[in-house]
């Protein structure tokens, strides 16, 4: 016998293209810091080196710009050599060499003496560069989404010029005008309320945006808080009280921490969303014109979750998944500059940031700060970045001073993104050829195919592990898995990337880097 389909599970859906699947992959250099702070966020595409002629990175090349906004120009920074780095291809790897006598350079937080070799996975994750103690760049292979579109008023508060941020702004514009309810999910500190506000501004609604944190609503008062209460509905109710739905009439109701909605009020919330009708405690049923945008940083479906399935799907007529900051590091420079400027205005310190008369030491101090922040993993995401920026401004006394708590946090967070090709202190303790197939397989499985951990266990270099993977047909990197096979693995595992990585026998961290924009939105 056929059962009637649940209308809440069969909402119309338009699936957005996965960023990176159809987009062209390009090797990009993003300006994270420049003595002329107006240039932070500019981008240069690095043409793939061919043959024996390396590409030059330095004072006069390549040209950086913001798409169609103004001409592209070189770094033109006197402390950076004309030939600071030479980029050459060796198979699917990129070799960076520092010519003798050129300006000092740090790659991934470590001083570069001669040459390093970068793997495809390292390029997908992003490699920080500090040139001449004055310019900070991020070298990263990422989907090319074209030049950024002109900023719209609705998304003006969303800072960043990466492909991810451009796509996010585009989708907010589309979703904002759709009128559908929206579920925003992402780690804490990723800016879910900012996105909700942008969706409201992009809509045609003239009413207010009302925000409520569901985690702060006592279970016994949830119904009255959301839907209101009539006079005399309970002891002490001497007058009728409007709920948040009524306060948001004609506008948008933002329900943050939606996963903490008390179970007893979930059926009423589902009815409000489904029928656009609410019933105040002790009052009459009445219709409302409210758009609901909800947000969560935790799973609200799946095993062990007591959130109603029908409500979860009704909330997610449209969905936006926000990436953590570590997965769009191109935006760190612009975000840091924005928060520093904001704090300087709030604390009346207009002369703190470097200007045209800044000394070489002052520029070097600011470059070091931006470089350190670029190397950090940001577990607290954009909110933590804003907090650190304000603390730097507060502690500044005639120059940059890092508070002790920030200094401790930044220490020990240099990414393992480089392997010195010719440094004696990195010689392996064992030879990879002396390691048998069975031992190599056991090490891969025991360490979840994470190359750095495998190399550490076996006592060899990471480059040796990468070479062994390349030379053996039974192995592959996350970057080499075809998209169709990857999508099938994710579908089998209901989107669990860690489980999919185990099935595919690849590194979870590398797979996560590749998928950094693949769940931006599905609605």
Residue 237 pLDDT: 58
Sign of CA dihedral 282, 283, 287, 291: negative
Beta carbons within 8 Å of 509's beta carbon, 6+ residues apart? 450
Helical segments of 411-450, H only: 437-446
Number of domains in the chain: 2
Can you tell me the distance from the alpha carbon of 255 to that of 291, in angstroms, rounded to the nearest whole number? 11
Residue 29 pLDDT: 96
Residue 484 pLDDT: 84
Residue 500 pLDDT: 87
Radius of gyration of the chain (CA): 26
The CA distances from residue 306 to 266, 301, 474, 493, in Å, are 10, 8, 42, 21
**Is the domain of 189 the same as that of 308?**
yes
Does 14 reside within a domain?
A: no
**Is the domain of 210 the same as that of 289?**
yes
**Is the domain of 140 the same as that of 38?**
yes
**Is the domain of 126 the same as that of 235?**
no
Q: Does residue 42 sit in helix, strand or coil?
A: coil
Can you tell me the distance from the alpha carbon of 205 to that of 183, in angstroms, rounded to the nearest whole number? 18
**Is the domain of 84 the same as that of 186?**
no
Burial of 469 (0-12, 13-18, 19+ CB in 10 A): buried
The pair of structure tokens assigned to 275 is 């029928």
296 forms bridges with which residues in the sheet?
A: 185
Edge-to-edge strands of the sheet including 209-213? 209-213, 252-256, 291-296, 182-185, 318-321
Helical segments of 56-191, H only: 120-125, 163-176
**Hey, what's the torsion of the CAs at 325, 330, 332, 337, to 10 degrees?**
-150
**Is the domain of 301 the same as that of 189?**
yes
Residue 327 pLDDT: 93
Nearest by Cα to 253 from 241, 268, 267, 269: 269
Burial of 148 (0-12, 13-18, 19+ CB in 10 A): buried
Does 479 reside within a domain?
A: no
Range of the domain at 186: 181-316
The pair of structure tokens assigned to 395 is 């502690």
Does 287 reside within a domain?
A: yes
What SS3 string covers 102-168? CCCEEECCEECCCEEEECHHHHHHCEEEEECCCEEEEEEEEEECCCCCCCCHHHCCCCCCCHHHHHH
Put residue 348 in one of left, alpha, beta given phi > 0 → left and psi -120 to 50 → alpha.
left
Does 84 reside within a domain?
A: yes
Boundary of a domain, candidates 95, 116, 144: 144
**Is the domain of 202 the same as that of 302?**
yes
Do 133 and 113 meet the contact criterion of CB atoms below 8 Å apart?
no
| Max CA pair span of the chain | 85
Residue 7 pLDDT: 35
The CA distances from residue 22 to 141, 161, 478, in Å, are 15, 20, 17
Residue 234 pLDDT: 64
Boundary of a domain, candidates 266, 286, 316: 316
CATH number at residue 50: 2.60.200.20
The pair of structure tokens assigned to 221 is 């008062």
Nearest by Cα to 116 from 124, 108, 57, 216: 108
Does 234 reside within a domain?
A: yes
Half-sphere exposure at residue 339, Cβ-oriented, CA atoms within 13 angstroms: 22
**Is the domain of 110 the same as that of 190?**
no
Nearest by Cα to 334 from 81, 68, 79, 148: 148
b/e 349-366 (16+ beta carbons within 10 angstroms → b): eeebbbeeeeeeebbbbb
Walk along the chain (523 residues) and give the pLDDT tens digit of each residue.
Answer: 333 333 333 333 332 333 444 457 889 999 999 999 999 999 999 887 776 688 999 999 999 998 767 789 999 999 999 999 999 988 888 999 999 889 999 998 788 887 889 999 899 999 999 999 999 999 999 877 666 666 678 888 899 989 899 999 999 999 998 889 999 999 999 999 999 999 999 998 889 999 999 989 888 889 988 998 887 556 565 677 888 999 999 999 999 999 899 889 999 999 999 999 998 887 788 899 999 999 999 888 766 677 888 898 899 889 999 999 999 999 999 999 999 999 999 998 888 888 888 899 899 999 999 999 999 999 999 999 999 999 999 998 777 888 888 988 887 655 544 443 433 334 345 778 888 888 888 888 888 888 878 887 888 877 778 778 878 888 888 878 888 888 888 888 887 888 888 889 988 877 876 775 444 332 2
Can you tell me the distance from the alpha carbon of 231 to that of 217, in angstroms, rounded to the nearest whole number? 21
Half-sphere exposure at residue 200, Cβ-oriented, CA atoms within 13 angstroms: 25
Nearest by Cα to 521 from 290, 10, 180: 180
Helical segments of 145-243, H only: 163-176, 192-202, 222-227
**Is the domain of 132 the same as that of 221?**
no
């Amino acid at each position: 016998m056929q059962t009637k389909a649940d209308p809440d599970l069969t909402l119309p859906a338009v699936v957005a293209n996965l960023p990176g699947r159809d987009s062209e992959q390009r090797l990009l250099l993003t300006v994270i810091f420049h003595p002329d702070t107006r240039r932070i966020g500019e981008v240069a595409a690095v043409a793939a080196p061919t043959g024996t002629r390396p590409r030059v990175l330095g004072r006069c090349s390549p040209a950086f710009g913001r798409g169609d906004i103004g001409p592209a120009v070189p770094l033109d920074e006197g402390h950076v050599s004309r030939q600071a780095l030479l980029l050459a291809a060796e198979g699917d790897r990129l070799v960076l060499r520092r010519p003798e006598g050129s300006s000092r350079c740090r790659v991934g937080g470590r001083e570069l003496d001669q040459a390093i070799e970068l793997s495809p996975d390292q390029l997908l994750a992003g490699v920080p560069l500090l040139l001449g103690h004055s310019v900070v760049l991020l070298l990263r292979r990422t989907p090319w989404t074209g030049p950024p579109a002109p900023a719209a008023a609705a998304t003006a508060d969303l800072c960043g010029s990466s492909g991810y941020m451009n796509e996010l702004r585009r989708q907010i514009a589309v979703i904002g005008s759709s009128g559908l309810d929206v579920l925003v999910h992402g780690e804490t500190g990723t800016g879910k309320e900012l996105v909700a506000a942008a969706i409201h501004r992009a809509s045609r609604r003239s009413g207010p945006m009302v925000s409520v944190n569901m985690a702060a609503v006592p279970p016994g008062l949830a119904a009255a808080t959301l839907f209101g209460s009539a006079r005399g509905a309970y002891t002490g109710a001497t007058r009728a009280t409007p709920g948040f739905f009524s306060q948001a009439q004609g506008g948008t109701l933002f329900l943050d921490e939606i996963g903490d909605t008390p179970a007893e009020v979930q059926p009423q919330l589902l009815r409000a969303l489904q029928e656009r009708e609410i019933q105040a405690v002790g009052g009459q049923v009445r219709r409302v014109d409210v758009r609901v945008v909800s947000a969560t940083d935790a799973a609200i479906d799946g095993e062990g979750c007591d959130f109603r399935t029908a409500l979860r799907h009704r909330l997610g007529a449209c969905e936006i998944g926000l990436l953590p900051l570590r997965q769009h590091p191109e935006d760190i420079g612009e975000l840091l500059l924005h928060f520093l400027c904001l704090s300087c205005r709030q604390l009346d310190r207009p002369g703190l940031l470097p200007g045209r008369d800044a000394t070489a030491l002052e520029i070097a101090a600011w470059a070091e700060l931006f470089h350190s922040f670029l190397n950090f993993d940001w577990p607290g995401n954009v909110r933590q970045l804003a907090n650190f920026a304000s603390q730097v401004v507060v502690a500044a006394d005639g120059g940059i001073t890092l508070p002790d708590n920030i200094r401790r946090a930044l220490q020990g967070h240099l990414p393992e993104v480089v392997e010195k090709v010719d440094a004696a202190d990195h010689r392996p303790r064992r030879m990879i050829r002396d390691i048998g197939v069975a031992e190599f397989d056991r090490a891969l499985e025991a360490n979840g195919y994470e190359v750095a951990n495998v190399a550490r266990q076996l006592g060899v270099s990471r480059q040796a592990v990468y070479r062994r993977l390349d030379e053996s047909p039974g192995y592959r990197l996350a970057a080499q898995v075809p998209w169709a096979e990857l999508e099938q693995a994710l579908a089998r595992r209901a989107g669990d990337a860690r489980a999919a990585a185990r099935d595919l026998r690849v590194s979870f961290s590398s797979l996560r880097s590749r998928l950094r924009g693949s769940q931006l939105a599905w609605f």
